[in-house]
Amino acid sequence: MFERAVSILAALEDTDRFAESAKGEPQGVLRLTCGEEFGLCVVNRWIAGFLDAHPRVRVEADYTNRIVDIVSEGYDLAIRVGALGDGDLTAAKLGEADYALFASPGYLKGRDVLKSPRDLGAHDTVVFAPPGRSAELELSRGADSEIVRLVPRLLVNNNLAARDAVAAGIGIGMLPRFQAARLLTEGRIQEVLPGWSKPPAPVHAVFSSTRYPTPKVRAFVDHAKKTFVSTLSALA
């Protein structure tokens, strides 16, 4: 009985989605999920612009660092940063998040200038990684690449915490440029080993491949694509 009820509800939901798709105008509730950091820094701005452009839409945003099953939990779409693992979902690439190495002027004062990634081994470092994970950076510059194994002064599983630690002078850290931009502009941090970085992280919008993409989903994805670069640039 339960399975039959779920099937009936899913069919009704798909009927509603098809009806909305046929109307062509974004409307109703858009339920989306995203990681906390990217959500707070970037997706918040997308939502504001999207709501301003589409007065008949409401948004329910869930910022969480757990991997959400958007189909079974009833979300319209998710914003994912990094490699995708949802083979049964449709993905639309929105852009890429670039990274760089940063440190505070106070930390760098009186220390030798870093000339190669190998020099990182002689410095205090701040590393974003899950607890217990080995601290390893794969850096590249053009055709050159280096793998650097570190013993971090601080290992933390949150990029915003890592950014604040770098700004506080704890050590050198690899940060997303969009999170570091404002501190860089204010002179609180500066780039180290310019040109050396880890690969950029792709940013995708993912949604169910078995349901009709409604106008509100298409409109949000289009808005995020169109404003991706300008939104990240505005964080400086």
The hierarchical CATH code for the domain 99-192 is: 3.40.190.290
Tell me: domain 2-96+201-233, CATH 3.30.300.30, correct?
Answer: no
The domains of the chain are located at: 2-96+201-233, 99-192
Contact 32, 62 (CB under 8 A): yes
Full-model pTM: 0.84
Q: Are 2-96+201-233 and 99-192 equal in CATH topology?
A: yes
Nearest CA to 79 among 121, 26, 31, 136?
31
Residues in the chain with pLDDT values less than 50: 1-15, 17-22
Residue 23's pLDDT is what?
56
> What count of residues does the chain have?
236
Residue 86's pLDDT is what?
60
- Encode pLDDT of 67-110 as tens digits: 899 999 999 999 999 988 767 789 999 999 999 999 999 999 99
Q: Pairing relation of β-strands 144-149 and 136-141? A: antiparallel
Rounded to 10 deg, the angle between the 215-233 and 44-53 helix axes is: 130
